[in-house]
Amino acid sequence: MKNSNAFLYCLIAVIFVSCSSSSSEEQYLDLSDEERLVLAKKIAHNTIMVDGHVDLPYRMRIGGFSLQKEILNVAERTEGGNFDYPRSKEGGLDAPFMSIYIPSRYQESGGAKVLADSLIRMTKGIATTWPDKFAMAYSPQDIQRNFEMGKISLPLGMENGAPIEDDIGNVEYFYNQGIRYITLTHGKDNLIGDSSYDTTYTHGGLSEFGVKVVNEMNRLGVIVDISHVSDDTFYDVMEISKAPVIASHSSVRHFTPGFERNMNDDMISKLGEKGGVIMINFGGDFIDETFGEKSSKVNEHIVNWLADNNRKRSDPEAIAYIEKYVLENNPFPSVGKVADHIDHVLNLVGVDHIGLGSDFDGVGDTLPTGLKDVSMYPNLIAELLKRGYSKEDIEKICYKNIFRVWNEVIAFAKST
């Protein structure tokens, strides 16, 4: 087996050296699936890989993490969840944006800023607890440096602008805490603007305060993230923001008609015109409109079987039955579905406007077969190679596009 793997790696090395950029895509197409996966793993480990959205901080909060006692030790392989250090290294993930997720209920109950502060401290605690494995990152240059040292970078993005509250000074406060993008809304309309999941249409897009927030983010060098916003809010942002913006974890509405959380073709085109990037979400509901119905049917069958057989899910017999039934009636989309979304954006606006925003640890048990956790990015890369994407294309999708946007946002801030 070792000799076989050695032969494959030698084959891949020859391809890298001998193929010109104009013919490499054809060479990738000529490889077997096994050879292509070996190449994909090589690309994943030799290329910086940025993921626009990983919900580890909130998972850690729920899991009981504290800086005094690491109940959830992400430096080691963990039970459940989608992210930890060993699996990140296996998959080639170098810079997952840590989502400082603020549930919408904090907009009503108060405490959004306090929760954000605690999640930021918790995330920074990962880097101080395991400094040989993790490091904070506040710029593309930080990520590059950490990559060269073999460390996983932890850039910070805040999911929901609610912690800004009604104080524009809090934008700079969170910038100083290390936040480098802000998802303007989440599940409900807030003081900044309207949410894609809300039907209240409180402001009809951005509020007057939201306009100030976007301008202040531009001034400071904080990336504006339009995932979760309503269509009206998106179009307002496109008019107001003087720097390119991102969708940190959204997919393509073409494949999920009526799902406003995803972006329609016109929105993607306007995002591209402004130099932005859509970072594709891996969640089943985001990439396959049939997933919900298929999943419901499987769950209904399992619930009925448990009742009919007087079994609990934890019973060995039930575990074996459920595993077999799900395998035979797999409701989950394939890696190819994620690639379909990437293809669609490519055809609309080109490869320079595509990134990866998995939503790992944030979409529950909905992830595609072959993309269940951070160890599996090479499966997606292999699928892209199979479809004719070049190594340069994949590098752009993995990090160069988001680096470009981030650097342009920084440059604009420095020019003001």
Domain boundaries, the chain: 2-14+23-284+342-415, 289-332
Q: How far apart are CA 279 and CA 103, in angstroms?
A: 21
Residue 320: what pLDDT? Answer: 87
Four-residue CA torsion sign, 192, 197, 61, 126 = negative
Give pLDDT tens digits along the chain (416 positions). Answer: 444 455 454 444 444 444 444 455 667 888 999 999 999 999 999 999 999 999 999 998 876 544 444 457 899 999 889 999 999 999 999 999 999 999 999 998 999 999 999 999 999 999 999 999 999 999 999 999 999 999 999 999 999 999 999 999 999 999 999 999 999 999 999 999 999 999 999 999 999 999 999 999 999 999 999 999 999 999 999 999 999 999 999 999 999 999 999 999 999 999 999 999 999 999 999 999 988 777 667 667 678 878 878 888 888 888 888 888 777 776 799 999 999 999 999 999 999 999 999 999 999 999 999 999 999 999 999 999 999 999 999 999 999 999 999 999 999 999 99
Residue 20: what pLDDT? Answer: 40
Please provide the DSSP assignment of 316-347 as one string: HHHHHHHHHHHHHT--SPBHHHHHHHHHHHHH
How many CA atoms within 13 Å lie on the side-chain side of 208?
0
Nearest Cα to Cα of residue 157 among 101, 236, 92, 240: 101
Q: How far apart are CA 274 and CA 267, in angstroms?
A: 11
Nearest Cα to Cα of residue 246 among 101, 53, 106, 110: 53
Question: Per DSSP, what are the bridge partners of residue 279?
Answer: 355
Residue 371 sits at φ, ψ, to 5 deg, of -140, 45
304 CB-near residues (< 8 Å, 6+ apart): none
Q: What is the fold, at CATH topology level, of the domain defined by 2-14+23-284+342-415? A: TIM Barrel (3.20.20)
Q: How far apart are CA 46 and CA 49, in angstroms?
A: 9
Which structure tokens are listed for 62? 């729920």
Which structure tokens are listed for 104? 């919408």
Question: Per DSSP, what are the bridge partners of residue 223?
Answer: 181
Please provide the DSSP assignment of 241-271 as one string: -SS--EETT--BGGGSTT-TTSBPHHHHHHH
Residue 265: what pLDDT? Answer: 98
